[in-house]
Amino acid sequence: MKSKMKRILILSFIFVLILVFVPTAQAQVKVTFWTAPNPPQEVFWCEMAEKFNASQNKINVYVTAMVEAPTSEATLTTALAGGIAPAASENIIPGFGATLTNSKAVVALDTLSGFDEIIEKRAMKEVIEGWKFADGHVYILPIYANAMLFGWRIDILKELGFKEPPTTYSGIMDVGKALKVKYPDKFLIARKELIEPTWWQRWFDFFMLYNAASDGRPFVTGNEVTADDKAVIKVFKFYGDLKANDYLLTMAATDPFETELSIWRDLGPWSFSGWKERFPELVLNKTFVAVPPPLPDDIKLSYAKTFADAKGLVIYAQRSKEEQAAIWEFIKWVFIDPINDLAWIDATGMLPMRGDLATNYTFDGVFKEHPELLPYADEMAYAVPMIANEKFADIQTTLSDQGLVPVILGKKTPEQGWDDAKAAIEALLKK
């Protein structure tokens, strides 16, 4: 009996020592990350979460694709209303980001420890300026961007006596004049969408030129129109002049640039994979080139900014501080190492948002295999995202209805078109 009691006392003493000197394992913080409803992106994020989870034992990240029913924005809005939002999600455009910010649904990322390191490591000091909201904070961390460029048929330009694409409005007019002399049935640009009010089409015509002409000045800040008036009028006049001189075709045409009906067009990096099969004769620097937008003649810049078809990620304020901190650790882990950006390109085919794509040796192999993407990498630092206002679609529809379309059709002067559009947009923002 005594020996049994002795054993019990010894075991009890050992147990106490364990409690005192051996720290208990902390429970893992479990967080959820929603990806875009796009399988390649889901694959990337699942791989990142698997590697991150294996690298430490304090945080467990679970990745799943958000439901697109009817839209990803609607899914997120419903989740927030029901109190079941994830810790973070991607697939956020600035316009919807404004809705989230106004409802205080997301965290100001620039207030978190390590934000500046991400910006520095990714050479995004200039880029991130375009992602600041009216209060000066950054709520969306941009993940990728398609910095839109213009394509030129360099083969036809050379036929016309031009060694390089024009970089100014007057230079483009000179090309148009020469084109009509040699090929009366061809056009500089064929774009039926220029006389249609479809709001998102303005990204690929008006805003490409406006961002260049204004050096990226915000079109709207908060609920105020802050556009560069002179730049808007110059863009309106330029498109109106193209139409008046018969350099712009506004009738429907199938693959006009590819079939040489036109020689100039907006060009996104998604075009090239389809060209390889359907138009193998289109070869970079042989039959076409991709260049930044042109500038008005009186604007002297060594670069030209453009529109960026871009999306990013946010952290939701609805989750606990512990969850916010945990998902931020995961986000930092992903975005500080450029190797993960290389994995992103391999998985999605899209260029990550960073300012050193063209100079960082990590990506040398990508551009050797896909040289057509290099001009887009060069332009990344000058890519401006869409309007950061929740009424972005209505704003751009009004811009079309009251301004750009009637100017192109010769129904308004550029000055009157902008006066009318600006007044209508200002009224819209006050509602």
Closest among 111, 72, 84, 58 to 333, alpha carbons compared: 58
Q: How many CB atoms lie within 10 A of CB 332?
A: 17
pLDDT at 26: 58
Q: What is the CATH number of domain 29-147+308-384?
A: 3.40.190.10
The full length of the chain comes to 431
Place of tokens 């090309």: 175
CA 181 to CA 193: how far, in whole Å?
A: 26
E-assigned strands of 99-212?
A: 141-147, 149-152, 189-190
Q: Could you list the mean pLDDT of each consecutive 10-residue stretch along the chain, which spans 431 residues? A: 47 41 64 95 97 97 91 92 97 95 97 97 92 94 95 98 98 98 98 96 98 96 96 98 98 97 95 91 96 97 94 97 98 97 92 92 94 93 92 97 98 98 97 87
Angle at 426 between CA 423 and CA 431, to 5 degrees: 130
Q: Measured between alpha carbons, how far apart are the two ends of the chain, in Å?
A: 86
Return the CATH number of 149-267+391-430, one of 3.40.605.10, 3.40.50.720, 3.40.190.10, 3.30.470.10.
3.40.190.10
Is the separation of the CB atoms in 114 and 328 below 8 Å? Answer: yes
Say how far residue 331 (Cα) sits from the centre of its chain: 18
Q: Name, in order, each residue with C-beta under 8 angstroms of 186's C-beta and a sequence gap of 6 or more.
A: 156, 179, 180, 260, 261, 262, 263
Helices (H), 280-337: 321-336
Q: Is pTM, for the whole model, over 0.75?
A: yes
**pLDDT for the residue 247:** 98
Alpha helices in 349-413 (DSSP H): 364-369, 374-379, 392-398, 405-408
Residue 141, SS3? strand
- Distance, in Å, from the CA atom of 148 to the CA atom of 139, rounded to the nearest integer, reads 23
* Pairing verdict, β 189-190 and 383-384: unpaired
Domain with CATH 3.40.190.10 in the chain: 29-147+308-384, 149-267+391-430
**Could you write out the DSSP letters of every residue in 319-335?**
S-HHHHHHHHHHHHHHH
How much is the pLDDT for 381?
Answer: 87
Distance CA 53, CA 382 (A): 35
Report residue 394 as tokens. 């209505």
